[in-house]
Structures are given as structure tokens and as C-alpha cells.
Structure 1
Amino acid sequence: MKSTRLLALLSFGIVSLSAASVRAESETPPNVIYILADDLGMGDLGCYGQKKLKTPNIDRLAKEGMRFTDHYSGNTVCSPSRAVLMTGQHPGRVHCRGNGNEDSFALDPEMTTLPRLFKNAGYATGAFGKWGLGTTSREGASNPMSHGFDHFSGWKSQVIAHTYYPTSIVRDGKEEALDEGTYIHDLIMADASDFIRENAKAKKPFFCYIPTAVPHAAMHAPEQLHEKWRKVYPEFDNKIGKYGAGPGEETPDVKNPIAGFAAMMENLDNQIGGILDMLVELGIDDNTIVLFASDNGTHIEGGHDPLFWDSNGPLRGHKRDLYEGGIRTPFLVRWPANIEAGAVNDHISAFQDLLPTFAEITGQPIPDQCDGVSLLPTLLGKPDQAKPSYYYFEFIQAKRETYTARALRMGDWKAVQRSEKNRGKKFLPIELYNLKKDPGEENDLAASNPELVQQMEKLMDQAHTPLKKAP
């Protein structure tokens, strides 16, 4: 199995590999809190240039930690992005590559997935929010608790997570009815905070995964904050945001979804501030790693207007694109005991790198199925960071059998290939961009660099593996 993994890494273009796993420079295993936003654009945070909305607590992660400029999600939509994060497999090899029937996207129970890695290291593990890889109230592989989580609190399914006012919440595999008008996001964040507090008091190292649905549509927010932002942007009161959550779940329409977005972001930012303050109160702040990212780029659903918010800054595209706006994500890492405050890093990285990073931090071997490389040297400011030769992406539009778009990042160069109407039948010519000079992917240089295009096309062909049909 080890030789199989090594061959996979070499074929994927790894330049260097760590000779052995090492524990971080601390006698006590660090706690880990990974907060995953949903459909948040690079430009939606103050530390990445947002001007109309303040996010002081999320920005604090950048001020007191490391801000990455070239980090990529696992895909341009929810389920496959989470699958890459959980498995450490790159987007051309992971078991799902587009949204659809999420129970068919259940993780392989034979894999050492992210929560199982922490569980094996003696951590308490909890997930709080939107799972996206199966129905959370069912027994079996679709349930997050089948993969190493001790606790789960959140939505029953990804589709139901389209409303913040569902009829039920699932806690530890059991569905509990909610009173009408209950804003589930606040319950979930309270459960996450309780998990952190309980394990800190018990002096138990913990992994707290918070895949919040914010700011995915519908653009629901607590009423008081929503009314506050309606007064700021009353000109949008005639705009109604509509979004469905499936049979049996009412999804209230949103009057002024512009205000709704601002309100839900302020609410999340306040809650993250509460978590950071709690870490200080509990005396675990220095040795707790807090990470923040998004599962893909900004969306254009439910009345959300990314142009108004400049959600992608200079980047092109949005959710369901493989242009930078669809897959480049904010990535912030704060670890006061080890990470230099205010650091900015342009190392190219992606979701598949998180699993090997935490394997190294917890002193474990990197799981066999993993394609990523540990980011620990970068986090610690050390020069021996392994660098993949390239990062590959592919996306399958719903109900298609093969990729409908693909892309490859190699140094400053980015190749993108789309298909007509995103159907995966007739492919358009490969586009080529120099991201250092052209981060907005405005100037296609393919015609003047035919040999480079040919090289990148060959690498994309090599990185793709046929997708097995789900049972």
C-alpha cells in the first residue's frame, strides 16, 4: 500500500516529500478548530479587501496568524470539495466531483479520513454544521459519526441546509424536531462552543470541525441584525430572495437579501469572536490552531449579489466555475504558539494538503490514499516546504458522467478548459493565463504558448482518473 501511495504522489508531480512525520514543537497536542464557510468569496472578508462589510473577528485570524493568498478549495461546489478535505485525495481522483445524490457520496469507511486521523491520535472529535456527504440521521457510511466523529450537530442533509429554519436538527445521529421559526445556525454554533468548553475543561485535545452553511442561500439571518442592515441598504427592500430546500421544508423568502447577506456574515463573525475569546478564557489559546476557509467561491443564488459586494475582488468567475473565483478561497491559520502574527504567504496549496498537515502535527503517518503534502513547514516558517509541480481540478455538472470542465495550476500558469453549455460533450479550446500578471484571467495566452498548452493538457490527462459509478 505504501508503494501504491508513493507512485500516486510521484505521478501527480510531487517535488519533495517529508522523510518522516514529526510532532509540532509542543509537548501538548494542539487543539484544532477548522471553520469552513459555504460559498464565501475571497473579497467578502476585510482582510482580503472587503470595504462595505466589516469582519473584525475573522480578520483577527489574519492579524494574529497567517493569511494565504493562493489556497484552493477541493472543488467549485459543496460535496466534492468536502470529499477532498476529508480524504486528502485530489479533485481528479476523489470519489465525487459534483453535487447530486449526496448519499452516493458517502466516504469510504476503509479510509483514514480527517476525523479518523484525529481520533486515532486520541482526540475528541466533533462536527457542527453542514456535512454534505450523506444523510446525517442514517446509520452507515453517510453518517459523519461512521468516520471518526464522536459528535455531530447540524442539518439532516445538504439540500435541507438551504434553509436556516428547518423542521429538525440532527444531534449524534438522532433527529430532533425544532419549533417553527428556530434559526438552526445559532443552535449549531452553541453546540460547537459547548464541545470546545467541555473538552478544554477535561484537558482533552479536540478537533472541532465547523462547516457552517453561511453564507449559502437562502439569505436568512437573525431578525434583529437583518433589520439593522435593511436600514443601511433600504434601496434593496424591493428585492426578494427565493431559494428552495426540498420537499417538506419551508424556505421563507428574504426581503432584501443584500441586507440578509451582511446580517448573516456579521452574526458569524460575532460568533467566531466569541470562540476566540473563550479560548483565552479557558487558557488554551496559545496551543489551539484555528483555521478558516470556504468550500468554493461566491454564489449568485437566492438574491445574493456578489458584484455589489465585490465578493471575488479581482478574480474571475464564481461557484460552478473553474476560474479563480470559483475555486480560490480565503485561508487563515492562527496558532499563537507557533505561527508568526501577521504573516502573508503565497505558497500554492489546496484542501488535499490539510490531511497530511494534521498527520504531521499529530505525529502519524500520512494515510495511503492521500495526494496532498503537509503545510507544517510553511506554518512554522521553515524553508523545507514540499511543493507539488501542479494542482489539478475537475468539475462534473449534475447528472453528467464525466467532467464538464477542468483546470490546472502550475506555478504562475493556469490552464482552463470548459465544455459547451457545461455538458461535457464538445470541449472548447484550452485557455491559458499567467496569474501573476493577470489574476483576473482576462488575457488568454494560449495562442502564443502552444508548447506550454500541450504540456499542461498532458498533465491534466494524467491527473484525471475515471469516476466509478456510485452503488
Structure 2
Amino acid sequence: MKRLLLICLSFCGIVQAAAPPNFLIILADDHGYGDVSTYHASDVQTPNIDRIGKEGMTFTAMRANCTVCSPSRAALLTGRYADRVGVPGVIRTKPEDSWGYFDPKVPTIANELKKVGYHTGIVGKWHLGLESPNTPNERGFDHFHGFLGDMMDSYTTHLRQGNNYMRLNAETVDPKGHATDIFTEWAGDYLRERAEHNDKPFFLYLAYNAPHFPIEPPPEYLAKVKARAPQLDEKRAMNVAFVEHLDDCIGRVLAVLQETELAQNTVVVFSADNGGSIPHAQNNDPWRGGKQDHYDGGLRVPFVMRWPAQIKPGSRRTTRA
């Protein structure tokens, strides 16, 4: 996944005569390989994530760069091993328990894409620093609407250890609702705004907190799963509902791309920062282990990519990108 920067930059030059593509990178948090139904029969249904692969390419051997959040995000955004950019572990609220400092001298994918004329945005989870010089607007992003911190103590209060890390650029904001829905709405706002000001291509990094614990699906999603699959135990039913809510939200984002006529020339990628959490009933099948393990279950992640203008629908890649 650390090579995604090179993939994006190389795409910019594939069709010299055409407009450069837009990029929408959707990163889920702790999303197990087995919790995407495109890979094998599953008790979870992810038709919108699956559709990205069906309409483009499905990768079956993608690996995250670490088994926890911050290092994978640092690698994704810089194209370098996380240890080489100062993030060997999880960046946390309390300095005495924080394991990294994102090197401000290292350019990010946002910095590099800005050099070639892109507008850059991040919606959702940052998790690479809580203060200057490591806020998103200082690391190459023109627009930030999301959460600076690591995990939320609740998806409905949005606090972390009593702190409000929700921001619109540098401004503290206090939105209402489920965080997954909020980030979906903000992503839609960004896409509509870019469609109205289409003088330059865009790069949107949409980083959901879901399905990272606490597992908090909206009640109507849990009720639907229990009605469909009453054999599931409570923990598994909760996680299935949580993932299906996320999938529906991704479908809403894809619908905005279609609505704004941006879909044809937008590269859409869905992946995750690491494997799912076994104690929270997440599924990494067929791989052994999960989050924080160095078995495949902790490192293998779902990865699907769509670019209607260039990628043949239904393509599959069984080696690492």
C-alpha cells in the first residue's frame, strides 16, 4: 500500500492528451479481509464495496504496511516505510503513550499532487498528529473536514478521552449524528463543490473510523441483520451491521460521483489500514490472526480499484501492487 503514491502519480501521465484523473481513496479502519463479500461467501453483505471491484479491479494479495493505524496511514500518505517517517507505532492523545511523530519534512501524496495541479482534501480520520506542524492543512491538504485523533469513544459523541477533535480545517466543530454518516455527508459536499469548480482535478482521501471499535451500528441496521441471520451471536451481528452501514455510506459517496458526472474519470480505491480485530468478532478469513498480529490476518487487507475510463471491469490481480 505504500506504493499507492507512485500508482497515483503514474496514472496522471497515462493519457497525455486527456484530462488527468481525479482520485478518491477510501480507507476503512480495522476492516477485515473476510468482511468484504467480494472475496468469498460471507455473513456480511458489502454490495457497494464489491461493486468497485466488479466495475474495476480486485486485488487478492494486498498487504497493509503495519497491523495498527498510524503507521499504515503514514506509509500510505508518503510512499515510505512508516519507521522512516517517524511513525513506528500508534500516535495517541497522551504523549507518554504515543509512539510516533510524523516527520514534517517528508512530503505527502497531497503535497506531490498539488505540485501537478490538484486540489487536495481529506474527510474523516487523520491520526497522524494533533497539533502543528502535523495537522492536515500543514501536510499538503487544501481542505480538512474530519477527526484529528485516533479512535472515538463513541460514534455519536465523537469525543476521545473528553476531547473534541472534530475540525473544519483549523476550526473546532461539533456535528450531530453517527460519525460514519457525517463523514459521508462531508465527502459528498466536497465532491459537489469540486464538480462546481472543475478547473483542476482533485484528490480526496476519505478515511472512515468504521469499523474500528467501539462497534456501534445504527439500531435499524442491527435489527435488519438479526432478522436476516438470527443464528449470529450478538457480537458478530453487531459487527456485520456496522460494516453494512459503512458499505451503504460508501454507496452514497459513489452515487454523488455519478450524480456530478465525475465517475468516469475518477480513480476510486477502497482498502483498510490493517486487519480486523478478533476480540470484536471481525472476520479476516481465510487468514490466520488479526489486528496487531503479524500473521496474514493482521496484514492482508481488502483492496479494490475502479477507473471506468481505463480499467477493464472484472479485472483481478493476484500479486501485490
TM-score surpassing 0.5? yes
Higher RCO structure (Cα 8 Å, ≥6 apart)? 2
8 A contact 2:119–2:142 mirrored in 1: yes
Match of 2:274 among 268, 291, 296: 296
- How many residues align structurally? 302
Distance (whole Å) between structure 2 residues aligned to residue 347 and residue 80 of structure 1: 23
State how 1:211-290 maps to structure 2 within 5 Å: 211-233=207-229, 256-290=234-268
Q: Give the match's secondary structure for 1:54.
A: coil
Per-residue CA distance 1:357-403 (angstroms, 9 max, x = gap): xxxxxxxxxxxxxxxxxxxxxxxxxxxxxxxxxxxxxxxxxxxxxxx
- Say if 2:51 is the partner of 1:60: yes
Q: Which runs of 5+ in 1 are unaligned?
A: 1-16, 238-255, 350-471
Question: What is residue 88 of structure 1 aligned with on the other side?
Answer: 79
| Larger Rg belongs to | 1
Quote how far apart the aligned CAs of 1:89 are. Answer: 0.9
Structure 1 pair 129/257, CA: closer, same or farther in 2 (3 Å)?
farther
The TM-score normalised by the length of structure 1 is 0.60
- Say if 2:281 is the partner of 1:305: yes
Distance (whole Å) between structure 2 residues aligned to residue 149 and residue 50 of structure 1: 38
Distance (whole Å) between structure 1 residues aligned to residue 107 and residue 153 of structure 2: 29
State how 1:18-167 maps to structure 2 within 5 Å: 23-25=13-15, 27-91=18-82, 93-101=84-92, 105-135=100-130, 138=131, 140-159=132-151, 161-165=152-156, 166-167=158-159
What's the RMSD between the two structures over aligned residues? 2.4
Q: Give the match's secondary structure for 2:250.
A: helix
The TM-score normalised by the length of structure 2 is 0.86
Question: What is residue 201 of structure 1 aligned with on the other side?
Answer: 196
8 A contact 2:92–2:149 mirrored in 1: no
Per-residue CA distance 1:113-153 (angstroms, 9 max, x = gap): 11111222221111111111112xx3x12211111111212
The residue type paired with residue 120 of structure 1 is: K
Quote how far apart the aligned CAs of 1:156 are. Answer: 3.8
Quote how far apart the aligned CAs of 1:324 are. Answer: 0.9
Q: Give the match's secondary structure for 2:210.
A: coil
Q: Give the match's secondary structure for 2:48.
A: helix
Quote how far apart the aligned CAs of 1:233 are. Answer: 4.9
Structure 1 pair 134/107, CA: closer, same or farther in 2 (3 Å)?
same
Distance (whole Å) between structure 2 residues aligned to residue 233 and residue 293 of structure 1: 26
8 A contact 1:42–1:313 mirrored in 2: yes
State how 1:309-458 maps to structure 2 within 5 Å: 311-349=283-321
The residue type paired with residue 329 of structure 1 is: V
The residue type paired with residue 287 of structure 2 is: L
Q: Percent of aligned positions with the same letter in both sequences? A: 38
The residue type paired with residue 155 of structure 2 is: Y
8 A contact 1:156–1:175 mirrored in 2: no
Distance (whole Å) between structure 2 residues aligned to residue 199 and residue 106 of structure 1: 32
Structure 1 pair 43/76, CA: closer, same or farther in 2 (3 Å)?
same
Per-residue CA distance 1:415-471 (angstroms, 9 max, x = gap): xxxxxxxxxxxxxxxxxxxxxxxxxxxxxxxxxxxxxxxxxxxxxxxxxxxxxxxxx
Quote how far apart the aligned CAs of 1:316 are. Answer: 1.1
- Say if 2:159 is the partner of 1:173: no
Q: Give the match's secondary structure for 1:33.
A: strand
Per-residue CA distance 1:214-256 (angstroms, 9 max, x = gap): 111001122222232243455667xxxxxxxxxxxxxxxxxx3
Per-residue CA distance 1:317-345 (angstroms, 9 max, x = gap): 11111111111111111001111111111
Structure 1 pair 56/330, CA: closer, same or farther in 2 (3 Å)?
same
Q: Which runs of 5+ in 2 are unaligned?
A: 1-5
Q: Give the match's secondary structure for 2:305.
A: strand
Distance (whole Å) between structure 2 residues aligned to residue 212 and residue 145 of structure 1: 18
Structure 1 pair 339/178, CA: closer, same or farther in 2 (3 Å)?
closer
8 A contact 1:79–1:133 mirrored in 2: yes
